[in-house]
Chains A and B, each alone.
Chain A
Amino acid sequence: MSRISSIFSQPGHKAFIAYVTVGYPSIEATLSTVSLLAENGCDMVELGIPFSDPIADGVTIQKASFHALKNGVTPERCLAVARELRQQVSIPLTFMSYFNPILHYGQENFCNDCASSGIDGLIIPDLPPNEGGELESLTQKHNLDLIYLLSPASTEERIRLIAQRSRGFIYLVSVTGVTGARNALPSDLKVFLSRVRKVSKQPLCVGFGISTPEQAGQIATVADGVIIGSRIIQLMDSGEPDTAQQIQDFARGVRKELDQ
């Protein structure tokens, strides 16, 4: 069983997955925030490798990415951050990256270096399974989970395809749209989840637009986990001296709602 799959092995446990952009606002902040999240009920962290053209991201993560790039963050540095984090935390770590930096690094080298740096899986928003064949076999060779995304716009045929090909869990995008905190949850989320449940026994985690512990709790009544990104970036962004306290309170709040 992969480290990611083991999150979902305890019956009734709902996964709290967090996203941070590596190097935003600084490498030190990434290191301390991931540790803080892991200590306060987070089950897995997605480490975002910044990209110059993040077409699936809203304003918050776009800004974080551009800032990180200005800080000189590269895939190599992200791998170094993963190696350091692996010494500090035991929760699974994945990379969230657009495809081009991985292609440019070399898919085989990248998978090899991910595995040796303690990375457990990859999430690539612009790589649907139709284009993912090569990376799928390389990730399997290196015991990495390649997690695919599903959208409310996906047809039944695509739900079946992705259910078959995704490893670890399936990432359900809550709305048609880009990442970013939203005030309200889409009303058709239940329908979407039941469409996927019909054809898949895989764990289903919902991301995009989740910004409060209460929303996380609502989603957990139908999903196996929630993914929160932009809201955490906003908390890291606040620049206030008690940022760490705020992140800790937020993580505990999410954990509490998920455990209810």
Chain B
Amino acid sequence: MTAQDEPSFVSSSYFGQFGGRFAPETLVPALDELTTAYKKIQGDASFWSEFDSLSHDYSGRPTPLYFAEKLTDHCGGARIFLKREDLLHTGAHKINNALGQGLLAKKMGKQRIIAETGAGQHGVAAATICARLGLDCVVYMGEEDIRRQSHNVFRMKLLGAEVFPVSSGSKTLKDAINEAMRDWVTNVRNTYYLLGSVVGPHPYPTIVRDFQTIIGKETREQVMAKCGRLPDYIIACVGGGSNAIGIFHPFLKDTEVQLIGVEAAGRGIAVGKHAAPLIAGSIGVLHGAKSYVLQDEAGQIRETASIAAGLDYPSVGPEHSYYKTTGRIAYDAVEDKDALSAFLLLSQIEGIIPALESAHAISYAGKIASSLGKDKIIIINLSGRGDKDMDIVSEAMEKKQ
């Protein structure tokens, strides 16, 4: 099963009024080159057979769709299934995209790969794929994220990547993307920018989505095999939004399936310390795309706050903004404290330690499951595992006590 099963909308740079290519002129030819290369691999059987083979044997696909019986009993309502992306090599769905783009970079003859990372999951995935494919890897990471995800920094270095700390702005994911774009603008002729989410200028939101839709395609087959029908709800966390669009996309036409994206409400939407542009933002342009953005009254990008570094981003993939306006996908937000409770709950009753990012989706699902009948089916995209979050969680638990 590959991205070639479905037509790719790579020829349009917009999703409704969202997306586009608001990038410096220097990058436009590179983005054109990428678009052309990506179109070319659509019909390239050898590319997809290598992608499939490495997805299977190296990344560990397909990932199970697990019936979370204990969580279901605990909530006392709908049956809850977990799509176990946390079981993938490197611990999150990020490897799907890193593998696809890594192979694409190789096809394009680019030896130097740059990437940005927030929680470090995409950085680790990119460093891993570069090691496997023999490519040079540079990862930009905000100083604040380096501090809170030091474990992943060491992993990237171990894998042979160079990690550059970014000290500008809020020192998080947004600033890491700024710095990666500055590197790309400088070294555009020999460098491939391996962007980690469905954000950025066209064609990135399309390319990253296509490599992540494997999650939704598998989910669809698995739920049909296990339950004989489509689910009632699919719930995923949304930072940039790649795991969410990956699981949602193959269900967009099935209007009976309710799709819910969960953003980070941080310390509270009301107090303004959050990372929820779809809930509390307005339309703007950041990192090359028009989308919902958190900005102040002068059009300056606002600082964000979330316990989950991977959600700590002031914009969101343009395709999400589009489905927000059409109403096909519903969006809500979960606060740090509720994500933390869900993190602990899943660890204790299912023996699965989720990533703090994914814990936002678990928290939301738990809330709605209780009010639904036992005949209903909820699928949560468990996008990553929580090993990286030990320090943050133990710190948060100490504070609580």
Contacts and interface: CB of A to CB of B under 8 A. Distances in A.
A102 to B, nearest CB: 7
Interface stretch (A86-94, A172-180, A226-234): A172-180
Nearest to B284: A100
A247 interface: no
Contacts of A158: 25, 28-29
Given A177-B186, A178-B186, A52 B25 contact: no
Nearest to A54: B178
Contacts of A192: none
A104 B185 contact: no
Interface residues of B, number: 36
B26 interface: yes
Interface string A131-173: 1000000000000000011111111001000100000000001
A100 B25 contact: no
Contact of B285 (A56, A62, A103): A103
A130 interface: yes
Contacts of B187: 176
A153 B168 contact: no
Given A102-B299, A176-B186, A177-B186, A128 B286 contact: no
Contacts of A95: none
Nearest to B175: A53
A60 interface: no
B56 interface: no
Contact of A154 (B29, B169, B181, B288): B29
Contacts of A149: 24-25
Contacts of A62: 168
A153 B30 contact: yes
Contact of A55 (B21, B24, B28, B282): B24
Query: Which has the most chain A C-beta neighbours within 10 Å: B20, B25, B29, B283?
Result: B25
B300 interface: yes
B107 interface: no
B22 interface: yes
Contact of B169 (A53, A58, A127, A148): A53
B101 interface: no
A130 B21 contact: yes
A203 interface: no
A139 B182 CA distance: 28
A153 B182 contact: no
Interface residues of A, number: 41
Given A153-B188, A176-B189, A100 B285 contact: yes
Contacts of B29: 151, 153-155, 158
Contacts of B23: 126, 128
B122 to A, nearest CB: 19
Contacts of A173: 25-26
Contacts of A100: 284-286, 293, 295, 299, 301
A131 B20 CA distance: 7
Query: Which has the most chain B C-beta neighbours within 10 Å: A52, A69, A104, A178?
Result: A52
Given A52-B301, A62-B168, A100-B301, A151 B25 contact: yes
Contacts of A101: 298-300
A207 interface: no
B29 to A, nearest CB: 5
B169 A52 contact: yes
25 contacts: A51-B300, A52-B301, A53-B287, A55-B181, A55-B182, A62-B168, A66-B169, A76-B298, A99-B22, A99-B285, A100-B286, A100-B301, A102-B299, A126-B23, A128-B23, A128-B24, A131-B21, A153-B29, A154-B28, A155-B29, A162-B25, A176-B187, A176-B188, A177-B26, A178-B182
The 4 nearest A-B residue pairs measured at CB = A104-B299, A101-B299, A151-B26, A74-B298
Given A62-B168, A104-B282, A173-B26, 12 more contacts: A54-B178, A55-B178, A55-B287, A103-B284, A104-B299, A126-B24, A130-B21, A149-B24, A149-B25, A158-B28, A162-B25, A177-B186
Interface of A: 51-56, 58, 62, 66, 69, 74-76, 99-105, 125-128, 130-131, 148-155, 158, 162, 173, 175-178
